[in-house]
Amino acid sequence: MTAPLPSAAAALLPALKFDRDGLVAAVAQQHDTGEVLMLAWMNRDAVTQTLATGRVCYWSRSRQSLWRKGETSGQAQRLVELRVDCDGDTVLLLVDQTGSACHTGTRSCFFRAVRGGRLERIAEPIVDPRTLYGAEA
């Protein structure tokens, strides 16, 4: 991605429909492999920061604060492209993910699948979560 332009947020924000909590859903997808990594949420500030810095910033609903992905864990997401859906309540983030997107240490948060009538783990951690968050994990 080239340097984000200051006008990007101004162009995007009017197309977004934030919900009653002031959020849009954000799906993060690895830009080259197509792997869906995670779903999180963004408020206006998170969208603006993401476009301004080229690093993905979400809104943490549990902590009620901006969540600069990778700030603690180092597992950051570089923004490659931001897309918007037809009704403006969801964005698709094409990203370049460093390491694991999931706090459990798996590459993707979607590491369980229904197969053969059971819920199976289909991916193992690629990073020890204790190395991501220290004693917090």
Q: Could you list the residues that contact its own copies (CB under 8 A)? A: 5-8, 11-12, 15, 25, 27, 29, 33-36, 38-39, 51, 81-87, 90, 92, 102-104, 106, 109-119, 122
Rounded to the nearest whole angstrom, what is the least distance from the CB of residue 64 to its own copies in the complex?
Answer: 16
> 113: Cβ–Cβ under 8 A, 6 or more apart, which residues?
119, 120, 122
DSSP state, residue 5: P
Rounded to the nearest whole angstrom, what is the least distance from the CB of residue 60 to its own copies in the complex?
Answer: 12
Closer residue to its own copies (CB): 30 or 68: 30
Cβ–Cβ under 8 Å, residues 47 and 9: yes
Closest residue by Cα to residue 49 from 90, 77, 72: 77
Pairing of strands 112-115, 90-97: unpaired
Rounded to the nearest whole angstrom, what is the least distance from the CB of residue 18 to its own copies in the complex?
Answer: 15
Rounded to the nearest whole angstrom, what is the least distance from the CB of residue 113 to its own copies in the complex?
Answer: 5
